[in-house]
Amino acid sequence: MKTALRPSLCKTPLLAAVLGLLALGVQPAAAQERAKDLFGAKKLPTATAPQSFGFYSKGCFAGGVAIPMAGPTWEVMRPSRNRRWGHPAMIALIEKLSVDAVADGWPGLLIGDIAQPRGGPMTTGHASHQIGLDADIWLTPMPSRPLSMAQRESMSATLMVNEKTHLVKDALWTPAHTRLLKRAASYPEVERILVNPGIKKKLCDTVKGDRGWLRKIRPFWGHDYHFHMRIGCQPGSPSCKGQEATPADDGCGKPLAWWFTEEPWRPNKNPDAPKARDLMTMANLPRECQAVLEAPGPVSAEAATYHGGGVPMATAAPEPEAPSPPATAGGGEPALPASANAFAATPEGGVPLPRPGN
């Protein structure tokens, strides 16, 4: 029927022109492709040297490695999300933490989201976790019996905080939780650990003796099922943008008290407004991220999986000359709303600061 129709339609010059354009694949100014869709579609990392580009909430990374689905001291949760990738230094540190935590009396780590294989904005969840230097670890200890893959998809984490009072549920908090956070904060690479304000308060109220590590424990929305461990920019990443150092004090004073006022918990007036990660296009990310998207990957996920013994590099697929991302940071990228930095102290207007789930 269509073929019979077309000749008569083509008698109209305008229609003929439109049909011609459609045949050429020319479409009226379509929305620019979103970076989260491009990065979210990548199944494997780049098979290039490890390097982070940009900031925790606006960037990407190359040379990622995966933490194995399970080891003697950890299990990866929600494996279908394929977010068990990170900078090799991050993955090595998570494994180290898992071993140290067991020695401290924590049964093992349940590992939440780290990053997508090449980082970048995520299709759901997190504003940060974009440059391979952030990881979420559950505040639920690893069960004694191995979890099946199905259980890892469905098992719930434990909510540690009363959502009305914003205080830790005392029946659930144990000294082992405190030791786990202290251990994570003890590593020089770890710059910040994000926890719910109730958890920060619990530590402020109960930690005796050495309190220096509390400086790294930062209150934030959400983070009541898991904590978020962030390491600094790693050597070999000249265009990685670090975060300002945390204040030198334990953070248990005025800034913490603010979290127990009404202000941080006022309902979001515009809950449906798009988040920064929903708006970002490739033009908003460091220029190198385009090369990261296009670079060849390893032969398989297994070929880029970390198996201990120092810092690994992904094994490249046998391909000619991998184009490596340019070494310098891109300039002149279009400005994003201030909230693209999920951890800015104060929102500067525009898109609202990301709420829980970061």
Quote the least distance from Cβ 286 to Zn ion, whole Å.
Answer: 21
Distance CA(259)–CA(262), nearest Å, equals 8
Residues 306-345, interacting with Zn ion (CB under 5 A): none
In the beta sheet, which residues pair with residue 228?
A: 136, 194
Task: Establish if 136 lies at the interface with Zn ion (CB under 5 A).
Answer: yes
Q: Please check whether residue 142 is in contact with residue 105, taking contact to mean a CB–CB distance below 8 angstroms.
A: no
Over the window 94 to 133, marking each residue x when it contacts Zn ion by CB under 5 A and - when it does not, the resulting string is ----------------------------------------
Quote the least distance from Cβ 136 to Zn ion, whole Å.
Answer: 4
For Zn ion, the closer CB: 136 or 288: 136
Task: Give me the residue whose beta carbon is nearest to Zn ion.
Answer: 228
Quote the least distance from Cβ 27 to Zn ion, whole Å.
Answer: 37
Quote the least distance from Cβ 157 to Zn ion, whole Å.
Answer: 13
Judged by CB under 5 A, how many residues of this single chain contact Zn ion? 2
Distance CA(65)–CA(45), nearest Å, equals 7
For Zn ion, the closer CB: 222 or 298: 222
Tokens of 202: 């619990």
Distance CA(163)–CA(225), nearest Å, equals 12
DSSP 214-280: GGGEEE-SS-SSEEEEEEPPPTT-TTBPP-PPPPSS-S-SHHHHHTTSSGGGSPPS-TTSPPHHHH-
Instruction: Classify residue 131 as left (phi > 0), alpha (psi -120 to 50) or beta.
Output: alpha
Tokens of 273: 């407004």
For Zn ion, the closer CB: 126 or 166: 126
Quote the least distance from Cβ 253 to Zn ion, whole Å.
Answer: 25
Quote the least distance from Cβ 190 to Zn ion, whole Å.
Answer: 13
- 33 phi, psi to nearest 5 deg: -65, 140
Query: Which among 136-144, 145-153, 250-258, 283-291 is the span making contact with Zn ion, rule CB under 5 A?
Result: 136-144
Task: Establish if 228 lies at the interface with Zn ion (CB under 5 A).
Answer: yes
Q: Please check whether residue 73 is in contact with residue 96, taking contact to mean a CB–CB distance below 8 angstroms.
A: no
For Zn ion, the closer CB: 58 or 228: 228
For Zn ion, the closer CB: 42 or 223: 223
Distance CA(97)–CA(108), nearest Å, equals 9
For Zn ion, the closer CB: 125 or 312: 125
Quote the least distance from Cβ 130 to Zn ion, whole Å.
Answer: 11
Which residues contact Zn ion by CB under 5 A? 136, 228
